[in-house]
Amino acid sequence: MATRRKREPKTDICITVEKEGVWVYGNAQAFRRIAKHMAIMAGAEPAEHYELHVRWHLGSHFTKRNAVFVLMDNESRAVHKRKTFDVTFMVVEPSDLKSFRQHERSGRLPRDWDRSV
């Protein structure tokens, strides 16, 4: 008699983009998957600049029902594209953070901003 594999619960993540900020909502399975990625990142060398792209790494690329979806308020829809919006986490070196901190007071990205650090 064949044994049935226990089916993993579906991952569901909703990213909301609002005037006040970005929120990530998810079921427990979603946060277990995020935690797994974060643990790998936490153990990585900062110089590697490992990234977690929530939509890319946790989304469903070949099914109609994507595990990660985005909702936006009207103000956010005016400046962002819902289909391509993503939330990315990146491990960086202390010197990168020190460089970022120089712009904290103005709150603006530097003119020569390089997202890849």
Helix (H, G, I), strand (E, B) or coil at 51: strand
Q: Is residue 115 part of a domain?
A: no
Q: Give the range of the structural domain holding residue 52, as residue numbers without chain letter.
A: 13-101
Q: pLDDT tens-digit profile of 29-87?
A: 999 999 999 999 999 999 999 999 999 999 887 778 889 999 999 999 999 999 899 99
Give the rounded distance of the alpha carbon of 26 from its chain centre: 12
Residue 85 has a pLDDT of 94
- Has residue 82 been placed in a domain? yes
Q: Which residues contact 110 (CB under 8 A, 6 or more apart)?
A: 103
pLDDT at residue 7, rounded to an integer:
56
- 41 lies in some domain: yes
Q: What's the structural domain count of the chain?
A: 1
The answer as to whether 31 is a domain residue is: yes
Return the closest-CA partner of residue 41 out of 29, 51, 56, 53: 51
Query: In this structure, is residue 75 part of a structural domain?
Result: yes
pTM over 0.85: no
